[in-house]
């Protein structure tokens, strides 16, 4: 040890103690001598009166009150309060104390006291009171990030975000996949080791990428019966995937809402992963109806889907696409025997006056959360689109007004424990969709939604990103992007076979047959 070195550590310790004492004195003076303001402070994002998961990342925010200095105290029933002094209105909450405080106080209140110094006087605002839920949220969220472009896409990626911190990692990047459109990602029962997504309109072609446990496959789902598949739902057995195949048309408007989407053709089919077989039934692929958005019930015995009459049923002089209202339907299915039951109406457009989309059953099967809008099956472009909660037992439904806004609410999904939902909403600025979370309690009510926490919320707003199709997963997606890229560019393709009992509907056209392989 060098001369006098043994004096350094005690000196540092003494300095730290003195600094801590000075801060405590400062805090006490601020609290004691501050002027009361009879309202809560304005903060952005709006993290006030919300329910938080005990494992969520710190909800950093900006204080929208004029001042030169800021003091924030975050406290709960147990544990040490978090004290934050800042010259900036951006409040960054330290990670470790935040995690400890939330972990100790499940099912308790979380209080945020905010003090702002303005003209040498401290103002004390009415504290913000939030709640900490007893149940955690799934550890990761997967979403697609795209720019808010109307007609063209350039860069798009599938990302995964660790919800306990701010770690965001790329799963797939379209620039490395032949500039394809990357879309329609999905997971088998929130399992990060079983996922699929589609690639379209790029150098590699229109194909499906499937990750199944330790392997990655490239699948051509087109047959003489069906076009390339899109909207999807995994059967609980992990061996079947229900797909829609659509002939999609888009309209772009110079005035008002920028885009409308409608289908000319839309039917449903099943893909058997073990046999690489496409099958269907006339009941879910009627020539007179448009069927889309398949969703399995949690027990796998029923397939929910949205259905509307085809374009020929509407008045051609009154914008047919604006007359299209989708019903919510259900059909029973025996996966072991491959037997279909009869179609049952769940929520008819003639009764609600609205068009149904994205009908997502809760993990316990008791509820269905769905979008209803004026017309169309694409609520993202319908500003009036709201989320509705349907009770499966009673078939009664209500506007889930506690989670809706004046802007479009669109894609949503349930957490694995059924206590949390994530939804896409344009409420922040009416232009881009962000991911919002809400707690769903045992009485069937939702808490006020809050936006995905960010390390720097001001920076996030400036990036102008669209969060698309947020999906919960119970862990990190482990497949490496390099493995996906290698498989995508390989010549090995799994070619879907058509079930012999299903008649072909359309010629797929001549093409060079690549080298095919099998899953097993």
**Whether residue 177 sits in one domain with residue 79:** no
262 and 321 Cβ atoms separated by less than 8 Å = yes
Q: Which of 379, 437, 438 is nearest to 409 (CA)?
A: 379
Q: What is the pLDDT of residues 155-212, one digit of tens each?
A: 899 999 999 999 999 999 999 999 998 999 999 999 999 999 999 888 998 999 999 9
Residues 82 and 218 in one domain: no
- Quick one: 301 and 352 in the same domain? yes
Q: Looking up tokens 């550590």, which residue turns up?
A: 9
Looking at the 3D structure of the chain, how many domains does it have?
A: 2
Q: Does a structural domain hold residue 506?
A: no
Domain end residue (candidates: 116, 132, 148)? 132
Decide if 176 is inside a domain: yes
pLDDT at position 132, please? Answer: 98
Taking only the tens place, the pLDDT of each residue in 285-327 is 998 899 999 999 999 999 999 999 987 766 666 676 678 899 9
At 144, phi and psi to the nearest 5?
Answer: -100, 135
Give the Cα separation of 68 and 123 in Å (integer). Answer: 12
Give the pLDDT band (50/70/90) at residue 15. very low
Which has the minimum average pLDDT: 89-93, 96-100, 131-135, 243-247?
243-247
- Per the model's pLDDT, the better-predicted residue between 441 and 250 turns out to be 441
Give the integer Cα–Cα distance in Å for 12 and 71: 25
Is the pLDDT higher at 221 or at 517? 221
Mean per-residue pLDDT for 428-456? 96
Residue 447: inside a domain? yes
The two three-digit tokens of residue 445, written as one number: 């009510």
Question: What is the CA 483 to chain-centroid distance, rounded?
Answer: 25
Query: Pick from 112, 132, 152: which residue ends a domain?
Result: 132
Same domain, 226 and 348: yes
d(CA 119, CA 126): 20
d(CA 266, CA 357): 14
Tell whether 110 and 166 lie within a shared domain: no
pLDDT of residue 16: 45
- Average pLDDT (34-44) is 95
Is 512 among the domain residues? no
Nearest CA-CA partner of 83 in 24, 139, 15: 24
Residue with tokens 């009673």: 394
How open is the CA angle 355-360-366, to the nearest 5 degrees? 115
Q: Which two tokens stand for residue 361?
A: 């059953």
Both 265 and 116 in one domain: the answer is: no
Which structural domain, as residue segments, surrounds residue 337? 140-492
What beta strand segments (E) does 23-108 contain? 35-37, 43-44, 51-52, 61-63, 69-75, 82-86, 90-91
The pLDDT of residue 17 is above 50? no
Q: Are residues 116 and 235 in the same domain?
A: no
> Is residue 128 located within the same domain as residue 221?
no
The residue among 111, 132, 153 that closes a domain is: 132
Same domain for 259 and 311, yes or no, is yes
pLDDT of 509 over the 50 cut: no
| CA distance from start to end of the chain | 66
Residue 158 lies in a domain: yes
52 domain residue, yes or no: yes
7 band by pLDDT with thresholds 50, 70 and 90: very low
CA distance 102 to 131: 10
Q: Which residue has the higher pLDDT, 380 or 70?
A: 70
Please, which residues have CB within 8 angstroms of residue 181's CB and are 6 or more apart in sequence? 153, 156, 174, 198, 199, 200, 201, 202
pLDDT band at 505 (very low <50, low <70, confident <90, very high): low
Residue 69 belongs to domain with CATH number = 2.60.40
User: Do both 76 and 199 map to the same domain?
Assistant: no
Q: 253 and 279 in contact (C-beta within 8 Å)?
A: no
Range 18-31 average pLDDT:
58
Do 338 and 357 reside in the same domain of the chain? yes
322 and 175 belong to one structural domain: yes
**Is 191 contained in some domain?**
yes
Q: What number is the average pLDDT over the span 95-108? A: 98
Lowest mean pLDDT among 132-136, 216-220, 415-419, 431-435: 431-435
Predicted local distance difference test score (pLDDT) of residue 257? 60
Cβ distance 209 to 172 under 8 Å? Answer: yes
- Is there a domain that residue 272 lies in? yes
Tracing tokens 């000075």 back to the chain, one arrives at 22
Measured CA to CA, the distance from residue 190 to residue 473 in angstroms comes to 4
């Amino acid at each position: 040890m060098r001369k006098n070195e043994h004096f350094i550590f005690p000196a540092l310790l003494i300095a730290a103690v003195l600094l801590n004492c000075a801060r405590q004195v400062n805090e006490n003076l601020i609290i004691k001598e501050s002027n009361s303001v009879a309202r809560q402070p304005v903060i952005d994002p709006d993290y006030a009166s919300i329910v938080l998961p005990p494992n969520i990342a710190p909800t950093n925010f900006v204080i929208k009150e004029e001042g030169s200095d800021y003091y924030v105290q975050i406290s709960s029933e147990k544990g040490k309060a978090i004290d934050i002094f800042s010259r900036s209105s951006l409040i960054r909450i330290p990670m470790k104390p935040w995690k400890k405080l939330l972990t100790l106080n499940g099912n308790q209140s979380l209080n945020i006291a905010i003090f702002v110094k303005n003209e040498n006087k401290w103002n004390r605002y009415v504290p913000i009171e939030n709640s900490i839920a007893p149940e955690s949220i799934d550890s990761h969220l997967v979403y697609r990030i795209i720019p808010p472009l109307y007609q063209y896409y350039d860069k798009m990626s599938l990302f995964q975000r660790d919800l306990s911190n701010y770690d965001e990692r790329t799963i797939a990047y379209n620039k490395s996949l032949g500039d394809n459109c990357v879309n329609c990602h999905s997971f088998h029962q929130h399992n990060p080791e079983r996922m699929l997504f589609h690639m379209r309109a790029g150098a590699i072609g229109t194909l499906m990428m499937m990750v199944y446990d330790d392997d990655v496959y490239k699948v051509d789902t087109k047959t003489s019966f069906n076009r390339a598949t899109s909207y999807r739902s995994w059967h609980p057995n992990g061996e079947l995937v229900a797909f829609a195949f659509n002939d999609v048309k888009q309209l772009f408007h110079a005035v008002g809402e920028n885009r409308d989407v409608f289908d000319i053709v839309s039917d449903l089919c099943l893909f058997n992963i073990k046999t690489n077989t496409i099958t269907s039934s006339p009941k879910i692929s009627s020539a007179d109806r448009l069927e889309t958005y398949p969703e399995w019930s949690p027990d796998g015995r029923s397939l929910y889907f949205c259905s509307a009459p085809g374009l020929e049923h509407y008045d051609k002089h009154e914008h047919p696409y604006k007359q299209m209202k989708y019903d919510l339907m259900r059909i029973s299915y025996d996966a072991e025997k491959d037997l279909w039951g009869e179609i049952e109406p769940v929520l008819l457009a003639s009764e609600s006056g609205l068009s149904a989309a994205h009908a997502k059953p809760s993990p316990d099967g008791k509820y269905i959360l769905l979008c209803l809008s004026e017309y169309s099956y694409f609520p993202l472009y319908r500003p009036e689109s709201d989320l509705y909660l349907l009770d499966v037992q009673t078939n009664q439904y209500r506007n889930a007004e506690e989670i809706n806004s004046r802007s479009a609410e669109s894609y949503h999904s349930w957490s694995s424990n059924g206590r949390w939902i994530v939804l896409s909403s344009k409420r922040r600025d009416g232009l881009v969709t962000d991911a919002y979370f809400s707690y769903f309690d045992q009485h069937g009510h939702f808490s006020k939604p809050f936006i995905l926490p960010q390390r720097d919320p001001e920076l996030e707003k400036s990036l102008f990103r669209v969060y698309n199709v947020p999906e919960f997963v119970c862990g990190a997606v482990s497949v490496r992007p390099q493995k996906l890229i290698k498989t995508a560019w390989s010549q090995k393709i799994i070619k879907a076979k058509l079930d012999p009992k299903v008649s072909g509907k359309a010629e797929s056209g001549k093409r060079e047959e690549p080298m095919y392989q099998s899953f097993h």
